[in-house]
Amino acid sequence: MKFIFDTGAATVTISESTANYMLENGFLTENDIKGVGKSSVADGRIVDHVKINLKDIEIGGLHLSNVEAVVIMGQESPLLLGQSVIQSMGKISIEGNNLIIEDGINDLGGEELEELEQHIDDYMKQNNWYSAIDCLEKLDKASGLSARGLVDLARCYFQLSKNKTECNKCIEVCQRYLSRFGETSSDNNHYLVDIYYYLASCSSDEFNYNHKEAISWWQKCYDIETDALSKNFCLAKIGRLYGVLGEYDIAIKFFKDYFNKTIPLLGLSKSQVYNGSFKKTEETTIFIADALYFYAFVYYRKNDESNGNKLMRIAAKCGSNYAIDYCKEYNIPINAKKSQEPLF
């Protein structure tokens, strides 16, 4: 978006249509709306406004978090960058039509860099992803990011990837990591697993539909993951994507392979899973119950409602809240007689 740099404006001002666009695309939520008030505009009129919180503003690579702004109602007001942003930008200058942000980052000394790194750790522990991004990008300008730094930056964007912009930035950072560090060094395998995970997830989310590309990333993740449960979970992810692509037999093959490997790892038997007769934990919910829920949709997409319902019932008995809600909505009896057909 293009803003007018206005030193006479007290705050950031956006138009009603811009605010509606941001709401519709996930850049604003109802929790960001803080109240109502009145503003004096340039021609002297008093107009109604809505106070909002902008979680992140990026200007030339500089991120500002939780910026106060107002939405001018009922008119196509210009987008203004006022003092609530200007005062947070540090030293600035104007050369012709260019705004120069002189943050002095290249002059940071050793102690300042250490302090910046500590802020990054603290912000990430607090799940304050935008502030962590701001610090990571400052560190990047000052000294460049290490392998861990790029993975941390990708993680921050991934945590915010419900927005298309952040999702695509996560992909960009991951590609930057691969370009710089490659995929062959075994020393960085623990970082590569994360990079592949982020690429696979962002490639097949609601904004990007590169399912075949995502499958290749999940396969790479599977090849180098050392944790057995996480490694196997890649098979379920691949199976789900093949189901979306309409390759149902391949999808079923991956899901069966997944459950045959995962159920014993959790100390369970197939009979226990079919009946849901085991202690429910967060681990069994993620790796068994919810995986069964997604497996059921392979059969639904295949127009095999009978087997889809059987799997949905098992998923519900195993504790998947998604499956329980689905069974209630579509009147699928959870405690129907169990099937003897080996679905996994």
Residue in the block written with tokens 């012709």: 96
pLDDT at 272: 95
pLDDT at 63: 67
Check whether 106 has a pLDDT greater than 60: no
Q: Residues 92-111: what's their mean pLDDT?
A: 63
Q: Which is more confidently placed, 160 or 113?
A: 160
The tokens of 113 are what? 């860099």
Q: Residues 314-330: what's their mean pLDDT?
A: 97
Q: Residues 22-44: what's their mean pLDDT?
A: 78
pLDDT digits 0-9 by tens, 154-199: 999 999 988 888 899 999 999 999 988 888 766 678 899 999 999 9
Q: Residues 197-215: what's their mean pLDDT?
A: 89
Picking from 163, 156, 160, 169, the residue whose alpha carbon sits closest to that of residue 207 is 163
Check whether 29 has a pLDDT greater than 70: yes
Check whether 120 has a pLDDT greater than 80: yes
pLDDT at 233: 97
Quick check: 276 and 318 in contact, CB under 8 A? Answer: yes
Check whether 5 has a pLDDT greater than 80: no
Picking from 183, 289, 164, the residue whose alpha carbon sits closest to that of residue 236 is 289
Picking from 314, 280, 321, 320, the residue whose alpha carbon sits closest to that of residue 299 is 314
Mean pLDDT lowest among 200-204, 248-252, 319-323: 200-204
Residue 43 binned pLDDT confidence (cut-offs 50, 70, 90):
low
Check whether 65 has a pLDDT greater than 60: yes
The tokens of 223 are what? 């090849």
As separate numbers, helices (DSSP H) first and strands (DSSP E) second, the chain gives 15, 8
pLDDT digits 0-9 by tens, 220-271: 999 999 999 999 999 999 999 999 999 999 999 999 999 999 999 999 999 9
Mean pLDDT across the chain: 86
Check whether 88 has a pLDDT greater than 80: no
Q: Residues 282-304: what's their mean pLDDT?
A: 97
Q: Which is more confidently placed, 63 or 125?
A: 125
Q: Which is more confidently placed, 110 or 310?
A: 310
pLDDT at 251: 98
pLDDT at 107: 54
pLDDT at 271: 92
Mean pLDDT lowest among 46-55, 99-108, 319-328: 99-108
Q: Residues 99-109: what's their mean pLDDT?
A: 58
Check whether 337 has a pLDDT greater than 80: no
Taking the domains of the chain in order of start, what are their residue ranges? 4-103, 245-344
pLDDT at 101: 64
Q: Residues 268-277: what's their mean pLDDT?
A: 94
pLDDT at 76: 66
- The DSSP secondary structure of 89-157, one letter per residue, reads S-EEEEETTEEEEE--GGG--HHHHHHHHHHHHHHHHTT-HHHHHHHHHHHHHHH---HHHHHHHHHHH
pLDDT at 326: 97
What is the strand order of the sheet 80-81 is part of?
4-5, 80-81, 12-15, 62-72, 46-59, 33-40
pLDDT at 142: 77
Integer Rg of the chain from CA: 25
Fold observed for domain 4-103? Cathepsin D, subunit A; domain 1 (2.40.70)
The set of residues, in sequence order, having a beta carbon less than 8 Å from that of 229 and lying 6+ positions away, is: 262, 265, 266, 283, 287
Q: Residues 208-213: what's their mean pLDDT?
A: 88
Residue 13 binned pLDDT confidence (cut-offs 50, 70, 90):
confident
